[in-house]
Amino acid sequence: MPNANHGMRSLSSTSSDVKGGDNTSPQGEIMEIHSQVLRIIEKLGQMSAILETIETRSC
């Protein structure tokens, strides 16, 4: 069974963590978090579709 966390970055990492500095503006941090949230929502949608397929096949 595939690992559900495969390919996911740490949710706590921000652009300043990745770049190794604190020179990122608050707006930049917000944009990075927003981008991460959008990726997570996309992954959740994919996982939901997979679960629906599994449920349909098991009935």
- Going by the DSSP 8-state scheme, the letter that residue 8 receives in this structure is P
Q: What is the pLDDT of residues 8-44, one digit of tens each?
A: 555 555 545 555 556 789 999 999 999 999 999 999 9
Q: What is the pTM of this model?
A: 0.56
Looking at beta carbons, which pairs linking 50-56 to residues 24 or more positions away fall under 8 Å?
none
The tokens describing 13, both together, are 């990492």
> What phi and psi values does residue 43 have, to the nearest 5 degrees?
-65, -40
pLDDT of residue 36: 99
Tokens 């949608």 map to which residue? 45
